[in-house]
Structures are given as C-alpha cells and as structure tokens.
Amino acid sequence: INQPLAAIRMNAEAARHMLGGVAPDLAQVREALDDIVADNKRAEGVVQRIRSLVKRTTPVHDQVDLNRIAAETIHMIEADAGSKGVTVNLDLANDLPPVHGDQVQLEQVALNLIVNAVEAVSQNQIPSRIVTVKTNREGEESVILCVSDTGAGVDQITADRLFEPFFTTKPQGMGLGLSISRAIAEAHGGSLSFASSLPRGATFCLRLPAVQPETRNTQQEG
C-alpha cells in the first residue's frame, strides 16, 4: 500500500507546485488529480483484499489483462524510477489472452516485482540502469509476465531463500513481498520463478493459466 500512497503524495505536491505558478497549466493539474483518484482507488482495493485474505473470503476471479496490469503498474512507479535514474521499458505481446484472477492481487505481484527491480538497479553505480517488463504467451495454455533488471544480481545462497517468509536483504524490509507474491501466483494456479540474467541482473517471471477461447466466448455471450 506504500506505493500508491507515495504516488498520491507525489502528485499532490506536483499539483500544488503547478498551482503556485504564474500561469498554471490546468490540464496538467487535472491529470495529476486524476492520478491521485486512481491511486486512492488502488489503495482502497489493496486494503479490501487484505481484509478478505484475513477473513478467508472467496477471492474475486475476473478475466484480467496482464498487459494492462503491466502498463498501469509502470505508470504508477515511473516518476519514482525516473528520480533514481532508472529507465523502465515495456514490451507487451500482441493478442495476449486474459487470465482468470483477482486484479488487485495480481497488480500487487507486478508492483512488488517492478519495485524490487527498480531498487536493485538504483543501487548500482552503472550508466545503464534498466528494468524491462515483458509479457508473452507460452504455448496455448499459459501467459507470462517477466521483470528483468541490470542490477548486481543475486548470489546462490540468497537465491535459495528468496521466497522464504521473513527473509530479506533490505535493512527496512519485512521479507514478505516475494513470499506473498508466490502464494498469490499459486492460488491462481500459476507460479513465480527466479533466474539470474546474463551478463548481470535478475529476472522474475509470473506464469498464469490463460483463459481458453471457448471460455472467453461463453463469458462474453453471458
């Protein structure tokens, strides 16, 4: 929930700065306010899903577009990434089938992976600080969203413990992000995996079952 709250603060400060100018661009102010409303809704959604997890209520399962999740998540963090000198590239597959799932939960997985990648590359004293978010199909059965970075990478000892609850290499981290993300992936019938990237960096991939054409057609007719 910290990410949408940080985005709300950033957009509010930007709007205040613009309104303090001699001739404020009202279109830009309106865009900042629209982003505040959108991020507020995201924060509300996160809180609602946390409550539902605590109460063990049935999760929401809609047809979810991973391309849209990737694009909206990058939009949410791009200002913070830019301030750290990180470039976030988006490579979306054409005609990507939807997946069955809880959109807010899947957004949290994507957000966690992208924020981790941005933090990893921002700590490096290298000229090329790049995070790449890519979607693709794996045959007819699966859809994949991968987040790669050009950071220092992960040693084998750390890699073996990445998904353990409460394991973290961050001084202020809780060690729950990747553990919860993998649990969400598995609850959706998918998986979350890690691999070292060459020549440097890391890649995390979220794999989910694709909604089959006959199911999509049936739900659209209904």
* Angle in degrees, 0-180, between the axes of helices 103-122 and 177-187, rounded to the nearest 10: 140
Length of the chain: 222
pLDDT in tens, 89-145: 999 999 999 999 999 889 989 999 999 899 889 877 777 899 999 999 998 899 999
Helix (H/G/I), strand (E/B), else coil: 217:
helix
- Of 16, 35, 55, the residue that ends a domain is 55
32 in the same domain as 137: no
Residue carrying the six token digits 């000198």: 85
pLDDT at residue 86 is higher than 60: yes
Into how many domains does the chain fold? 2
Helix (H/G/I), strand (E/B), else coil: 59:
coil
Q: The domain containing residue 44 runs over which residues?
A: 2-55
**φ, ψ dihedrals at 188, nearest 5°:** -95, 10
pTM exceeds cut of 0.85: no
H or E element that contains 99: strand 99-101
